[in-house]
A and B are shown apart, each in its own frame.
Chain A
Amino acid sequence: MNNFLLDFLALGAIVSGILVITSKNPVISVLFLISVFVNVAGYLVLLGVGFIGISYIVVYVGAVTVLFLFVIMMLNLQLAELNAVGSEYTQNLPLGAILGSVFLFELTSVLPPVLGQSFSQVMLGVLTTIHSNLLGKTDYNNVNDVHLAFQSLNIDTAFTSTSGLQIQSIGAMLYTHAAIWLILAGVILLLAMISPIVLSMNRK
């Protein structure tokens, strides 16, 4: 059941990700972007990475995409112009499909087969079947392993299994072991604060 939910959320995230870039109206694509983030947040929460999942909702859905929505509404874009861009985009569709399938093939041929793992496959299972039918290879189920690589099974799970709240373990990690990364990230954020001022300041 849990695995089915995970697959469902992943599928939802991918489909709404595709809809973000295909929908003509920018407001609707931002709404789909929100749906991507909600799906990913649900995926993370189900995986057990609750804090990061919830902070996805708080930061991305709560602040960033709503800001996007306001910006797009204020820009007052004309739909006719966007439609013209949309027709250019469909010209590149075959190229994108070729590149995407080459990339997928590379991923599947390099990533290792992991023994003894079987999964209920919704989307990825279909892909594996297509892959094995088209290429005549049945001895491995590698597409599944892309999926598997991001499952928590073979990842270092010490992060989630420590006693106490997740936020405590993240904080303990962040302020002791990884303090220099925190400082570095702080410098990046400082830069991100300064650069909009530099770029938009009115100099007299």
Chain B
Amino acid sequence: MLTISLISLLIAVPLFSYRITPDLFNRITSLSLAFAGYLSGFFHVTNLSQGIEVFLLVVGSIILISWANFSINTSRYGSETPTISEYSLLIIFTTIGGSLLISSSDIVSMFLSIELQSFAVYVLATLYRNSESATAAGLKYFLLGGLSSSLILLGTALIYSNTGLTHFDSIYNLLSVEDIDSGVFRGVQLGIVLIGVGFLFKVAAAPFHNWAPDVYDGTVLGLSQYKIKRLLTYSTISHVGFLLLALSMNTQESVESFIFYLVQYTITNVNVFIVLLALGYIISNTPYDIEFIEQLKSQFGQNPFLSVSFAVCLFSIAGIPPLIGFFAKQIVLYSSMNENNASFIGYYFLSITAILVSVISAFYYLKIVQAMYFEKSTSFSEIRSSDGERSTIELSESTLYKATSVSNLHSVAIATLTIVIVLFIFQPIILLNSCHLLALSLFYY
């Protein structure tokens, strides 16, 4: 709020100084100061929201770092640039929406920030408008996102019509004195169920996940999945299951495990995608993404470092012991088997299901690793060498690409994230303590 008024004043003072008198400016400033104090109630900043916001912004900057600078080579491939200058603009929009959503403490601000966040993501999904899959993905994402937004809106309308309140704290206060069987309580319950369904739809949790693989595939198919982004989407769905398991308990321990799982999964997933991006730049010789697992065959011989970091990420996602992903899964399962929950048989069932599912999903990741390390690359190199003259040209071009495509920052980002994943076991205090403190601040603030 203050920043907005600062910027608008900075623009207004030189431009309109002959029309607006100085004391009018003073009045405007005093008004904006008063509002900045008065309006902060709709967004509630806590230690927890601030911590997560910092993490969100850091992850956003890492994602933006890893875009290769293709400016040298773009002329050769015409208008098909891998990065579009509006990309960063949309990232800013979606980050603003995300950080507002974290700290929103009112139904209206919550809905507005969700819309801001998801609108920008719909556009991001459609950004490569020349590709058919991107357009289809964006449209599908937009329609299904609109559906989930309308469910959330229906839920908030029900809550408002039953209580006449929009502030989270006020609703909580009202419900804490209301009888459980009363009409207001049940109406709010229904509203919360609808909001929950809408949110589960948005995060692609298990019963509402069918849209997600198509969308991921366009922007950037388990056992029979041969498309790599689809496979990663299915892995996201299973990880969302873990997160929801942690979230469902609402003990201090489980909140801690939830935050830790979120942090580690974000780090690992970002790393997976930027390694995939780097491999795509190197392998496919043109700035296109990797689509099929086949394309990764025998990459260990050609790009050993990238393959090692990719394998590390996949192992971490699968939950192999020395890596960070194992500890996240362990901490979630540990908190679900806590003695406070021991009376509920359902948590044992959920934990056992989670373990079984993560064992099964490890198979998929190992398949990628197998393709990368042990299989001979077949189709792609042969096709290229079959037409003799072009292959030499393309070879020289591809060496040029290897020199320029993966930027320094990109490789630094990959290296840092991989080291975080691998070496977490030697210094777990930093992450675990901050998660612990955030969880404590939620319960004993």
Chain A residues within CB distance 8 Å of chain B:
106-107, 110-114, 149-150, 154-156, 178-181, 183-185, 187-188, 191-192, 194-195, 198-200, 203-204
Residues of A within 8 A of B4 (CB): 183
Residues of A within 8 A of B126 (CB): 199
Number of A-B contacts (CB under 8 A): 87
Partner of A155, one of B1, B86, B119, B161: B161
Subset of 27 A-B contacts with CB under 8 Å: A110-B186, A111-B187, A112-B182, A155-B164, A178-B108, A179-B35, A181-B42, A181-B109, A181-B112, A184-B109, A184-B112, A184-B116, A187-B96, A188-B115, A188-B116, A191-B93, A191-B123, A192-B119, A195-B90, A195-B120, A195-B123, A198-B90, A198-B123, A199-B123, A199-B126, A203-B79, A204-B79
A150-B161, A191-B93, A204-B79 given; A198·B112 CB < 8 A:
no
| Bound CA span A184–B129, Å | 27
B127 interfacial by beta-carbon distance below 8 Å: yes
B354 interfacial by beta-carbon distance below 8 Å: no
Q: How far is the CB of B124 from chain A (nearest CB, A)?
A: 9
Residues of A within 8 A of B187 (CB): 110-112, 149
Partner of B158, one of A113, A149, A185: A149
Interface-central residue, A113, A154, A187, by most chain B CB under 10 Å = A187
Instruction: For the complex, count residues of B whose C-beta is within 8 A of A.
Output: 41
Kindly list 4 other residue pairs between chains A and B, CB separation below 8 angstroms, not including A184-B113, A187-B93, A194-B89: A112-B182, A113-B183, A155-B160, A179-B35
B40 closest partner in A (C-beta): A180
Report whether A181 and B116 are in contact in the complex, using a CB–CB cutoff of 8 Å: no
Residues of A within 8 A of B50 (CB): none
Partner of A198, one of B96, B127, B158: B127
Q: How far is the CB of B163 from chain A (nearest CB, A)?
A: 9
Fill in one digit per residue for B58-69: 1 if any A CB lies within 8 Å of its CB, else 0. 000000000000
Residues of B within 8 A of A192 (CB): 119
| Bound CA span A111–B159, Å | 11
Residues of A within 8 A of B115 (CB): 188
Residues of B within 8 A of A187 (CB): 93, 96, 116
Report whether A195 and B42 are in contact in the complex, using a CB–CB cutoff of 8 Å: no
Residues of B within 8 A of A111 (CB): 183, 186-187, 190
Partner of A107, one of B112, B120, B161, B190: B190
Residues of B within 8 A of A112 (CB): 182-184, 186-187
Interface-central residue, A113, A154, A156, A184, by most chain B CB under 10 Å = A184
A110-B186, A112-B187, A187-B93 given; A180·B109 CB < 8 A:
yes
| Bound CA span A121–B219, Å | 49
Instruction: For chain B, residues 301 to 319, give those with C-beta under 8 angstroms from any C-beta of chain A.
Output: none
Residues of A within 8 A of B89 (CB): 194, 198
Residues of A within 8 A of B368 (CB): none
B39 interfacial by beta-carbon distance below 8 Å: yes
| Bound CA span A194–B184, Å | 42
Residues of B within 8 A of A114 (CB): 183
| Bound CA span A150–B113, Å | 25
Fill in one digit per residue for B182-210: 1 if any A CB lies within 8 Å of its CB, else 0. 11101101100100000000000000000
| Bound CA span A140–B187, Å | 15
Q: How far is the CB of B331 from chain A (nearest CB, A)?
A: 35
Residues of A within 8 A of B123 (CB): 191, 195, 198-199
Instruction: For chain B, residues 1 to 40, give those with C-beta under 8 angstroms from any C-beta of chain A.
Output: 1, 4, 35, 39
B158 closest partner in A (C-beta): A149
B43 interfacial by beta-carbon distance below 8 Å: yes
In the A-B complex, the 3 residue pairs with the closest CB atoms: A112-B183, A156-B164, A195-B123
Fill in one digit per residue for B97-121: 1 if any A CB lies within 8 Å of its CB, else 0. 0001000000011001101100110
Report whether B108 and A181 are in contact in the complex, using a CB–CB cutoff of 8 Å: yes
Residues of B within 8 A of A183 (CB): 1, 4
Partner of A149, one of B39, B42, B127, B161: B161
Residues of A within 8 A of B96 (CB): 187
B162 interfacial by beta-carbon distance below 8 Å: yes
Q: How far is the CB of B112 from chain A (nearest CB, A)?
A: 5
